[in-house]
Chain A
Amino acid sequence: MATSVDGGISAAGAQGPHVRISGLTKRFEAFQALGGIDLDIARGELMTLLGPSGCGKTTLLRTVAGFLRNDGGSISVGGREIDDLAPHKRNFGMVFQSYAIFPHLSVKDNVAYGLKARGVGGKELTSRVMEALASVKLEALAERFPDAMSGGQKQRVGLARAMVIKPELLLMDEPLSNLDAKLRIEMRQEIRLMQKQLGITTLYVTHDQEEAMAISDRVAVMDRGTLQQVAAPEAIYDNPVNAFVTDFIGGCNWFDGQIIALGSGLGLALAGEAPVLLPATAGLTPGQMVRLAMRTEDFTLAGGPDCAISGTVLIRSYLGQRTRLRLRHAAGGEFDVDLPSAPGLPSEREVAHLGFLPGRTRLFAADDGRRLV
Chain B
Amino acid sequence: MTLAAPPRKGHAERAWHALRTDPWTLVALAALAFLAVFVVLPLFELLRQSVIGQESGRFGLENFVTFFESRYFRRALGNSFLVATLGTVLALMIGLPLAFVFARYDFPAKRWIEVAILMSMLSPPFVGAYAWILMFGRSGIVTEAGRSIGLELPTIYGPVGIAIASAFGLYPLVFLVVRGALSRVSATIEEAAASLGRSPFYVVWSVTLPLVIPAVVTSALLVFLGIISDFGTPAILGEGERYPVLATLAFSLYLSEIGAETGMAATTSMILVGLALALVLVARFLATRRLVANDGASSRSPEPLPARTAWVMAAGVAALVLIANMPLFVVVISSFLEVRGVVFQPALTLDNYTKAFGALGNALTNSLIYASVALALTIVAGTALGYYVSRRSGPLARILDLLIMIPYVVPGTVLGIGYAQVFNGPPLFLTGTAGIIAMVYFVRKLPYMMRASSSIVYQIDRNLEDASLNLGVPPGQGFFRIMVPLMRPGVLAGASIAWVEIFNELSASIVLYTGATRTLPIAAYQQSLGGDVGMAAAYATMLIVVTAAALTLFMLASRGQKEKGLGLL
Contact (Cβ within 8 A) B564 A145? yes
Contact (Cβ within 8 A) A161 B471? yes
Interface check A87, CB cutoff 8 A: yes
Contact (A87, B467) CB under 8 Å given A103-B566, A104-B562, A146-B564:
no
Please give, as numbers and ranges, the residues of chain B lying within 8 Å of A92 by CB-CB distance: 470
> Within A40-81, which residues are at the interface with B (CB < 8 Å)?
62, 65-67, 69, 71-72
In chain B, what residue has the closest Cβ to A97?
Answer: B463
Please give, as numbers and ranges, the residues of chain B lying within 8 Å of A161 by CB-CB distance: 467, 471
Contact (A91, B472) CB under 8 Å given A102-B482, A104-B485:
yes
Contact (Cβ within 8 A) A103 B565? yes
Interface check A117, CB cutoff 8 A: yes
Interface check A143, CB cutoff 8 A: no
Please give, as numbers and ranges, the residues of chain A lying within 8 Å of B461 by CB-CB distance: 98, 100
The size of the chain B interface, using a CB distance under 8 A, is: 25
Contact (Cβ within 8 A) B482 A88? no
Contact (A117, B6) CB under 8 Å given A96-B467, A98-B461:
no
> Within B422-478, which residues are at the interface with A (CB < 8 Å)?
461, 463-464, 466-475, 477-478
A152 to chain B, nearest CB (A): 16
Contact (Cβ within 8 A) A100 B473? no
Interface check B486, CB cutoff 8 A: yes
Contact (Cβ within 8 A) B566 A88? no
In chain A, what residue has the closest Cβ to B6?
Answer: A72
Contact (Cβ within 8 A) A117 B564? no
Contact (Cβ within 8 A) B470 A87? yes
A93 to B474 CA separation, bound complex (whole angstroms): 15
Contact (Cβ within 8 A) A94 B466? yes
A72 to B477 CA separation, bound complex (whole angstroms): 30
A145 to B565 CA separation, bound complex (whole angstroms): 9
Contact (Cβ within 8 A) A96 B463? yes
B179 to chain A, nearest CB (A): 25
Please give, as numbers and ranges, the residues of chain A lying within 8 Å of B562 by CB-CB distance: 104, 145
A147 touches which one: B463, B470, B472, B564 (CB < 8 A)?
B564
Contact (Cβ within 8 A) A88 B565? no
Most B CB contacts (10 A, CB to CB) among A65, A104, A145, A146 go to A104
Give per-residue flags for B12-25: 1 if the beta carbon is below 8 A from chain A beta carbons, else 0: 00000000010000
A262 to chain B, nearest CB (A): 48
A201 to B485 CA separation, bound complex (whole angstroms): 34
Interface check A13, CB cutoff 8 A: no
Contact (Cβ within 8 A) A88 B469? yes
A27 to B306 CA separation, bound complex (whole angstroms): 62
Contact (A102, B472) CB under 8 Å given A72-B6, A145-B562:
no
A71 to B17 CA separation, bound complex (whole angstroms): 13
Contact (A67, B566) CB under 8 Å given A104-B485, A113-B473, A114-B472:
no
Contact (Cβ within 8 A) B464 A100? yes
Contact (Cβ within 8 A) A65 B472? no
Give per-residue flags for B301-321: 1 if the beta carbon is below 8 A from chain A beta carbons, else 0: 000000000000000000000
Interface check A123, CB cutoff 8 A: no
Interface check A203, CB cutoff 8 A: no
B115 to chain A, nearest CB (A): 27
Contact (Cβ within 8 A) A102 B464? yes
A67 touches which one: B469, B474, B481, B565 (CB < 8 A)?
B469
Interface check A89, CB cutoff 8 A: yes
Contact (Cβ within 8 A) A147 B565? yes
Please give, as numbers and ranges, the residues of chain B lying within 8 Å of A171 by CB-CB distance: 470
Contact (Cβ within 8 A) A88 B564? no
A169 to B477 CA separation, bound complex (whole angstroms): 23
Give per-residue flags for B369-410: 1 if the beta carbon is below 8 A from chain A beta carbons, else 0: 000000000000000000000000000000000000000000
B88 to chain A, nearest CB (A): 40
Contact (A94, B485) CB under 8 Å given A100-B464, A146-B564:
no
Contact (Cβ within 8 A) B467 A94? yes
B471 touches which one: A66, A86, A117 (CB < 8 A)?
A117
Contact (Cβ within 8 A) A88 B466? no
A96 to B461 CA separation, bound complex (whole angstroms): 11
A224 to B497 CA separation, bound complex (whole angstroms): 50
In chain B, what residue has the closest Cβ to A149?
Answer: B565
Give per-residue flags for B480-491: 1 if the beta carbon is below 8 A from chain A beta carbons, else 0: 011001100000
In chain B, what residue has the closest Cβ to A62?
Answer: B466
Contact (Cβ within 8 A) A103 B6? no
Contact (A102, B475) CB under 8 Å given A145-B564, A147-B565:
no
In chain A, what residue has the closest Cβ to B485?
Answer: A104
A88 to B468 CA separation, bound complex (whole angstroms): 8
Contact (A94, B565) CB under 8 Å given A100-B461, A102-B464:
no
Most A CB contacts (10 A, CB to CB) among B467, B478, B482 go to B467
Please give, as numbers and ranges, the residues of chain B lying within 8 Å of A165 by CB-CB distance: 471-472
B466 touches which one: A69, A91, A100, A117 (CB < 8 A)?
A100
> Within A136-155, which residues are at the interface with B (CB < 8 Å)?
145-147
Please give, as numbers and ranges, the residues of chain B lying within 8 Å of A71 by CB-CB distance: 6
With A96-B467, A165-B472 given, can you name 19 additional A-B contacts, CB distance below 8 Å? A65-B466, A91-B472, A92-B470, A93-B470, A94-B466, A94-B470, A96-B463, A98-B463, A100-B461, A100-B463, A102-B467, A102-B482, A104-B486, A114-B473, A117-B473, A118-B472, A147-B564, A147-B565, A171-B470
The 3 closest A-B CB pairs, nearest first, are A114-B471, A147-B565, A100-B463
18 A-B pairs (CB sep. < 8 Å): A62-B466, A72-B6, A87-B466, A88-B469, A88-B473, A93-B471, A94-B466, A96-B463, A98-B461, A100-B466, A113-B471, A114-B471, A117-B472, A118-B472, A145-B562, A145-B565, A146-B564, A146-B565
A interface with B by C-beta (< 8 Å): 62, 65-67, 69, 71-72, 86-94, 96, 98, 100, 102-104, 113-114, 117-118, 145-147, 161-162, 165, 171
